[in-house]
Chains A and B, each alone.
Chain A
Amino acid sequence: MTVRVRRSLRAMVARLTWTMAAMCSVTAMAAVAVVCVGGFALAWPAAAASAAAEASRTASPSGTVTVAQLPAARLGPRPGKPDGSPTTAIQRAREDFATAASLDKVIWAQVGEPDRLIIIRATSVDVIQNDTLLIHLPRAGGIVTFPWLALKIGSPWISMPNPGTAVLSAALLLSPGTRMRVGPDVRRLFLSGGTARASASWIRCEQASLTISGVALSSLRAGNQAGGQPVPAKWGGRPYVYAAAGARLDVTGSTVSDLGEPPSGQAGALASATRSGAPPASARVVMAGVIWGRGSTGSAVSVRFERNQVGLALVRSVGVRLRNVTVENSVFDGLLLRGDRGTRLTGVISRSNGGSGMIISGAGPRHLSGLIAAANAAAGVSAVTQTGLVLTGVRTAEDGGGGVRLVGCMRCTVSDLVAVGDGETALTISGASDDVSVTGANLDGGETGVTIAAGTKAVTLRGAVVTGFRRLGVGIAGTGVSVLRSHISGSPVAVRVYGSAARIRLSSVTVRGGVDGVIVTHTVASVSLSDVTVTGVAHNGVTSASAALRMSGGHIYGGQVGISLLAPADITGVDIDRVVIGIHDRAPGTVDASQIHVVAERYGIKTDAGARVDLSDSVIRAPVTLTGAGYISRDSLTVLSLPPIPWLGFTAITAVLLAITLQTIHLLRRGSPRAPRLPRHARQQYAEDFGPGTDSHGALKVTN
């Protein structure tokens, strides 16, 4: 056989082989297709029947929508229709899905049209993207957990990148009757958010129960890995947790951080315009990281709220218990209470927040105790238009806007307040407050201790200790104000009564140190000082320009002038001692002084031209008892005399003179003996060694 023939044969065999292989492949694929189609055709009725059976088994008529405007809806198989063919089951499932979709669309619109929404119902879980229902997942009821959701729904909605870490990238709505538990299987829960509000992941529960225990709950920038950067405070899509409409939210042993929407629109503009940059109260609610809303209840125990927009808010909640809660570094206020009832606070600390430590507003009455506010940019505790508020055991320290502010409060009581180093005023009562009682306040350091502003009425300050304020101890401009049994020290002016103040009463008040003790301006009507003690002031004990000063009892010790008067006054039973001038009457009008006792270093009573002082039954002791261009009258019971001798000073002089006398006696007795002198050789040696101009210090070596 030739080579050509053999090649031809080989090519032919190869072609034949390829052809047969191709035909076998095609045949095999055709066979497989036939088998699959046939099998499907045979299995479809069985599957449809099975799905219909499943739907009928899990369906519950209890699913309702709590949004008031929506009609009640039912999900699941309709009764009365026989479930038979697959076509019917499919039809029913499709109808259920459509019903859920239309319901969910309404809810989605109601809750702010989030990009992604998960609605958890008692028997189903719906996953909605924009306004489209993607998944309608039946469930068996019971407590919902994140691991289960992550398993059923999965990323990007809910993911668990690591054991114990969950990332929620959708809004989550707990419908009535549902229960959800976060932790302990989840220790870190991140709610993602972005710049747009719709991108925020939030958790809301309505007539549902949400329990968060031992979880670090925080926000997460969309697109970041778990543990990445939180959502910045200014981004509109910052997550939050909201319990409303009869829900129950319990947070225990957790940290809640970087949550809460920023103020938006007009609220945002107002926020930047106000002095402290704080948005109005209406906007603050939605800004809280965690909100207990109307009718909700629950608790926060051993929880730390950090860097939220507003730490937490209680708005018309009922019976919420806060125990060992710390709120700090919020962008705005720490804690917001508005219209809540039955709130119990124990061990609540609000510190280093960008607004107030706590704002209390809305209807009362309420009793709050054990609050600690420190280093907040605005006031420590601010109570606005409260009635019947009782604040007990509040502690504030170094709050920039002052310690406690009561604005427009009626029948309120503050007891056992301690304020240290607060900026501005430690305690402010203003805004037409009426019937406010402050008992046992201990105020230390700052600009002003207490300000009782104009427009306030019937304010009582009892048992206060006001120490070390840089400008003023107590400033009074209200009416019907009483300061009782209080101690004021270390302020340039201890008490200043000014403006439209009227019917002011100071009783058993002790003033120590400072420049002036009590100053009353000419605009004040009716001031009564009884048993007021002023010691150690540098200038005047009492200065009054009010024509209605009545002063009875008390003691003024030290200073330039005991009582300086620029208007008529009535003074009875006052002791004035160790002053330069006892009483100085500087203005026309009559001053009635009876049973006063003055010991002055220079002048007892001094009157300027046109002034008149009527003395009765008094004792005036001074080098010059009565002086001045004015007129002083005295009755027969008044005693004028020289001051008592300062015996200790006299003794000192005596001791000095005695020492001189004794030395003189010694010299006289000694006579003039020859004073022993250094031996000649020692004097000569010293002169040789050191000379007249040489400093010998250190040249001699000392051994003992």
Chain B
Amino acid sequence: MTTWQSTFWDLRYYLAFLPLGLLGLIRWTCWLIRRIPAVLYKPATADYRLPLSVVVPVYQEDPVIFALAIESWLANEVDAIVLVIDSTDLVCQAVARRYPVTVIITEVPGKRDALRKGWEACRTYLVALVDSDTIWADDVAVEVCRPFADPRVGGVGTRQNVYQPRGFLQRVNDMYLDYRYFDDNAAQTVMGRAVSCLSGRTAVYRRKLLLDVSHDFMTETFLGVPCMSGDDKRLTTLILERGHLTYMQRSARVWSTFPGTVPLFIRQRLRWARNTWRSDLRALSRRWVWHHPFLAYTMMDKAVSSFTLLVSPVFMTIAIVERNWFFVCCLAAWWWISRSMKILPHLVRRPSSFFLVPGFVFISFMMALVKISALLTIRKQRWLTRQVQVQDGVVVRTGPARSGTSA
């Protein structure tokens, strides 16, 4: 045997050091089941336009970002912009007065009521439910209308990214968003046009459907507790329940702000995780979801992954305790490489994120714990990042009012 041959055969044994176990193999398979159809995704290209209004519930928004967002919506030449501003938020009211928008002052705290008021005040065929810190690209209004060429489509979501991410957590959020829009949502769109959640930052619905689901939307409860957050998940589910389709239009890009501090980050994730558990558990117990088998599969996979994700850190911990440094290095390297492969779409856009992957992996393990914690506290209804909560079945403010003269 020549030297290069023996070296080759020796190299084969380095494969043995790749710490992929059976569970890892299963998790990779589940990911490939999503990734392969996601690769086949293409945004809708039909030349189709409908009148579009923008409904924005506003509560203690940063005035600078708020103004930027209003201007971006105005730049899209939508038919109407309806801002439902909380009565205590005088600053944002002052900002809104500078623009040709419709302002509705609401005394009722809570996002759901504001959304309902907004879409009831609109008159256009399509309504875009937008967060007050979401900045649109110039062509969002055009792009989001295209999927509605299919009359079965009831709602359309957009692709989001973090507005000029600074700091580690915002970069991680950006990575999560790209992962979502290039894997989950893309695969769900390809495999049945049943996206599990049209994110509330910008989601466009047929107004008629919103009016149909108003009551169910406002009176949602889970295990006897009225729901406050998770409005976007709830609307998406209600649309799908009624036999309509949901579509992710990735060519419509929006930017929004995300938390940069650990407490806010965790609270936001905890809230989202509770919303997801409630929505997915309820959906999996209903018959309609099984008409969208791929959607059902992604829901179950998401639920299971919360637990399976923690197996690998256990092995790492045992290896560290036993001072098996070779295995520690192999596993750490595998985490880095495998996670990088899974977020390749983001790395293509931002190659520097490759060096943040170890932190991203660590955050993923933390998020698995957050998800399990959310499951255990699934009945809690608190916004966590807003000063509102449900008390005795009613949404109430928990913080002081904000006042000011101008933005």
Contacts and interface: CB of A to CB of B under 8 A. Distances in A.
Interface of A: 601-602, 623-624, 642-643, 645-646, 648-653, 655-656, 658-660, 662-663, 665-667, 669-670, 673, 676-679, 681-682, 685-686, 689-690, 695-698, 700-704
B18 A649 contact: yes
Interface in B25-66: 25, 28, 32, 35-36, 38-40, 42, 59-62, 64-65
B9 interface: yes
B167 interface: yes
A624 B12 CA distance: 13
A646 B15 contact: yes
Given A682-B68, A704-B385, A601 B16 contact: yes
B68 A669 contact: no
B36 A686 contact: no
Nearest to B111: A704
Interface stretch (B95-103, B130-138, B273-281): B130-138
A609 to B, nearest CB: 21
A59 B65 CA distance: 120
Interface string B373-400: 0000000000101100000000000000
B344 A649 contact: no
Please provide the 4 A-B residue pairs with the shortest distance between their CB atoms, ordered closest to farther. A649-B15, A659-B341, A652-B20, A676-B137
Contacts of A623: 6, 9-10, 12-13
A19 B246 CA distance: 146
A700 B257 CA distance: 8
A704 B251 contact: no
A696 B35 contact: no
Contacts of B345: 663, 666
Interface string B52-95: 00000001111011001001100100000000000000000000
B62 A700 contact: yes
Given A645-B12, A663-B348, A696 B166 contact: yes
B385 to A, nearest CB: 6
Contacts of A704: 111, 131, 133, 268, 383, 385-386
Interface string B3-23: 000100110111111101110
Nearest to B24: A652
A681 B251 contact: no
A47 B62 CA distance: 123
Nearest to A578: B16
25 contacts: A601-B13, A624-B6, A648-B25, A650-B15, A652-B334, A655-B28, A655-B32, A655-B341, A659-B35, A659-B341, A659-B342, A663-B345, A666-B39, A670-B42, A676-B252, A678-B137, A678-B255, A679-B136, A681-B72, A681-B75, A690-B164, A695-B166, A697-B166, A697-B170, A704-B386
Contacts of B344: 659-660, 663
A677 B164 CA distance: 11
Contacts of A651: 20, 25, 28
Nearest to B68: A682
B137 A679 contact: yes
B137 A648 contact: no
Interface string B139-162: 100000000000000000000000
Contacts of B68: 679, 681-682, 685
Contact of B18 (A648, A660, A696, A697): A648
A600 to B, nearest CB: 10
B1 A646 contact: no
B192 interface: no
Contacts of A659: 35, 341-342, 344
Contacts of B1: 624
Contacts of B25: 648, 651
A649 B20 contact: yes
Contact of B13 (A643, A676, A682, A695): A643
B153 to A, nearest CB: 21
Interface stretch (B209-217, B258-266, B291-299, B306-314): B258-266
A702 B259 contact: yes
Given A685-B64, A702-B264, A669 B42 contact: yes
B320 interface: no
B64 A648 contact: no
Contacts of A677: 137
Contacts of B20: 648-649, 651-652, 655
A602 B24 contact: no
Given A662-B39, A701-B60, A704-B383, 14 more contacts: A623-B6, A623-B9, A643-B12, A643-B13, A649-B20, A655-B32, A659-B35, A659-B342, A660-B341, A663-B345, A676-B252, A698-B260, A702-B385, A704-B133
B207 interface: no
B138 A648 contact: no
B177 to A, nearest CB: 14
Contacts of A701: 60-62, 65
B253 interface: yes
Contacts of B6: 623-624
Interface in B172-213: 182
A676 B338 contact: no
B272 to A, nearest CB: 10
B135 A653 contact: no
B138 A679 contact: yes
B135 A679 contact: yes
Contacts of A648: 18, 20-22, 25
Contact of B164 (A649, A669, A686): A686
Given A658-B32, A679-B137, A686-B164, A703 B64 contact: no
A667 B255 contact: no
Contacts of B268: 704
B121 interface: no
A700 to B, nearest CB: 5
Nearest to A642: B9
A665 B32 CA distance: 14
Given A648-B21, A679-B71, A700 B65 contact: yes
Nearest to B337: A656
Give the residue among B15, B21, B36 with the most A Cβ atoms within 10 A. Answer: B15
A682 B133 contact: no
A673 B9 contact: no
A576 to B, nearest CB: 16
Contacts of A665: 39
Given A646-B16, A650-B15, A676-B251, A702 B341 contact: no
Contacts of B131: 704
B13 A646 contact: yes
Given A623-B10, A659-B344, A673 B251 contact: yes
Given A679-B71, A703-B60, A704-B385, A652 B167 contact: no
A697 B167 contact: yes
Contacts of A624: 1, 6
Q: Which among A652, A673, A696 has the highest number of chain B CB atoms within 10 Å? A: A652
Given A685-B68, A702-B259, A676 B164 contact: no
A703 B20 CA distance: 41
A563 to B, nearest CB: 20
Contacts of A695: 166
B59 A703 contact: yes
